């Protein structure tokens, strides 16, 4: 772990220097080729490495094996004797084997497809997830071009060491969610209004993204005004229609034993029991429970549910405010509000694993505005670029005895909150100096 953190720190120094250089390039075409070629190389060199920071890929392999053998991943916990006839060595590597799958149908579709062509292959997941991740970078570049900014700023996502490690090495399925989400945003915000295919593709893609992990649903209030009632209905229909068969076969799983069985059985466990590496939520929980240790209090501790209720109320209030102010926002204003919705979740949720900020990092290049000279306004992104570095230190939890460290949480969240506060306080001043914030403050922008 010290070796990893040392190299990770060096990678971030080089990443920051690269971002600064690219932001000052007048011509983006050649730079974009360099960004793309290096992004591919960064991922290829990690293919075939044994996932050592996270073992989630073994759950993906197991779910894929069940699907290709006609077994629902929501029907049985991993260690169920009923599944012994399907056992492989990888089954013993699945984490939380006492529960059924927590992954939704669009994620399961990817697991099944990979298992069909490359069963029991972690390398196959690394390759496919990397390709999907590169697609996300291309979609970010597309949106940047549509916004009149340099597509080469997609480097902020494609070269981020956290993104590279978590997807090319650990093969987290979040990359699939991000590709579908960004495709939906391109269809919604980056295509000309007469494009009828993009008009209906947007809610379908957003619905599919929500069925990998439900995070995109949190953007509903922000995007509702742009989508309109009909497309919001299509988004909902996609989610319900693709979930219904699994609910009919396995039930919802919201009652009974806590073994994750049922469509939402594992989600129920996650929402009720998981508590790891939280930020504002952790400090709120400290106040309501009196828990002074770095790790979270059990959900049954007195005051724990109060912390969850307060945190949830604050988050929903933020979403409501963002949704209300999004009524007249232009495309850039909507993207910045999407970023704020995701970072609010990140700060107020009970659990933050190192790959969770990837959804924020995908929005950072789109939220970085430009001044009258075309130079980037870095402040909206700086808090999360720092966080994407510091969150990797939470892997120290797994060295020796499982435990969290107060200094790691402080390293992650205190600078992030300070940078965020400064960014929000000075946002209006930057807008007056010519940085584009939304439609109410039009400025001249340099074209691509």
The residue range of the domain holding 309 is 2-432
The kind and range of the H/E element at 369 are strand 369-370
Residue 441 lies in a domain: no
- Sole residue written with tokens 């007195």: 302
Quote the CA–CA distance of 364 and 336 in Å, as a whole number.
8
Helices 105-117 and 122-146: crossing angle in degrees, nearest 10, is 130
pLDDT confidence of residue 436: 45
Provide the 8-state DSSP code for 391: G
pLDDT at 299 (0 to 100): 84
User: Does residue 438 belong to any structural domain of this protein?
Assistant: no
**Distance in angstroms (rounded) separating the CA atoms of residues 270 and 273:** 6
Assess if residue 299 is contained within a domain.
Answer: yes
Dist. CA 344–CA 383, nearest whole Å: 12
Instruction: Please indicate, yes or no, if residue 234 is contained in any of the structural domains.
Output: yes
What is the Cα gyration radius of the chain? 22
Task: Name the nearest CA neighbour of 249 among 267, 235, 237, 261.
Answer: 261
- Cβ atoms of 106 and 141 closer than 8 Å: no
Q: What is the DSSP letter of 330?
A: -
Q: How far apart are the first and last CA of the chain?
A: 42
On whether residue 447 sits in a domain, the answer given is no
Distance, CA of 393 to CA of 109 (rounded, Å): 32
Give the SS3 label for residue 179. helix
The rounded distance, in Å, linking the Cα atoms of 108 and 72 is 10
* Residue count of the chain: 448
| DSSP bridge partners of 276 | 351
pLDDT tens, position by position, 319-334: 999 999 999 898 988 9
In a domain, 439, yes or no: no
pLDDT value of residue 198 = 87
- Long-range contacts (CB closer than 8 Å, 24 or more residues apart) made by 31-35: 31/150, 31/152, 32/141, 32/151, 32/152, 32/154, 35/152, 35/154, 35/155, 35/158, 35/159
Cβ atoms 133, 179 nearer than 8 A: yes
User: pTM value?
Assistant: 0.92
* Domain count of the fold of the chain: 1
Which helix H or strand E contains 378, and what residues bound it?
none
Contacts of 97 (CB under 8 A, 6+ apart): 77, 78, 79, 91
Domain assignment of residue 244, yes or no: yes
CB 78 within 8 A of CB 98: yes
- The values of phi and psi at residue 321, to 5°, are -65, -40
Q: Does a structural domain hold residue 444? A: no
Residues 132, 241 contacting (CB under 8 angstroms): no
Residues of the chain below pLDDT 70: 26, 194, 369-376, 427-448
């Amino acid at each position: 772990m010290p070796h990893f953190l040392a190299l990770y720190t060096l990678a971030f120094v080089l990443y920051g220097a690269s971002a600064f250089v690219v932001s000052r390039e007048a011509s983006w075409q050649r730079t974009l080729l360099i960004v793309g070629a290096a992004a591919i190389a960064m991922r290829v060199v990690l293919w075939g490495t044994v996932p050592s920071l996270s073992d989630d890929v073994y759950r993906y392999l197991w779910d894929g094996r069940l699907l290709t053998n006609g077994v629902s991943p929501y029907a049985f916990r991993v260690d169920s004797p009923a599944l012994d006839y399907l056992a492989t060595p990888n089954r013993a590597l699945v984490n939380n084997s006492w529960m059924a799958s927590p992954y939704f149908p669009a994620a399961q579709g990817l697991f099944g497809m990979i298992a069909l062509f490359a069963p029991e292959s972690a390398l196959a997941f690394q390759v496919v997830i990397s390709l999907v991740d590169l697609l996300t970078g291309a979609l970010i570049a597309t949106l940047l071009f549509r916004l009149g900014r340099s597509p080469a700023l997609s480097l902020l996502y494609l070269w981020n060491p956290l993104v590279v490690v978590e997807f090319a090495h650990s093969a987290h399925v979040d990359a699939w969610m991000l590709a579908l989400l960004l495709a939906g945003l391109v269809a919604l915000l980056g295509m000309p209004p007469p494009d009828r295919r993009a008009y209906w593709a947007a809610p379908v893609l957003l619905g599919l993204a929500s069925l990998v992990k439900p995070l995109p649903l949190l953007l509903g209030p922000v995007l509702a005004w742009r989508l309109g009632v009909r497309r919001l209905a299509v988004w909902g229909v996609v989610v319900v229609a693709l979930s219904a068969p699994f609910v009919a076969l396995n039930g919802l799983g919201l009652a009974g034993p806590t073994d994750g069985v049922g469509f939402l059985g594992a989600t129920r466990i996650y929402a009720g029991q998981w508590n790891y590496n939280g930020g504002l939520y952790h400090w709120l929980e400290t106040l309501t429970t009196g828990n002074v240790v770095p790790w979270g209090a059990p959900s049954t501790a007195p005051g724990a549910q109060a912390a969850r209720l307060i945190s949830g109320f604050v988050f929903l209030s933020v979403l409501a405010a963002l949704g209300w102010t999004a009524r007249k926002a232009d495309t850039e204003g909507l993207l910045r509000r999407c970023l704020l919705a995701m970072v609010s979740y990140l700060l107020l949720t009970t659990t933050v694993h190192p790959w969770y900020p990837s959804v924020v990092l995908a929005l950072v290049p789109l939220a970085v505005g430009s001044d009258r000279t075309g130079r980037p306004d870095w402040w909206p992104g700086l808090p999360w670029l720092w966080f994407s570095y510091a969150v990797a230190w939470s892997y120290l939890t797994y060295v020796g005895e499982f435990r969290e460290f107060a200094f790691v949480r402080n390293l992650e969240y205190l600078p992030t909150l300070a940078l965020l506060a400064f960014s929000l306080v000075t946002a209006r001043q930057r807008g007056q100096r010519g940085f584009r914030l939304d439609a109410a403050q039009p400025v001249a922008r340099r074209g691509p």
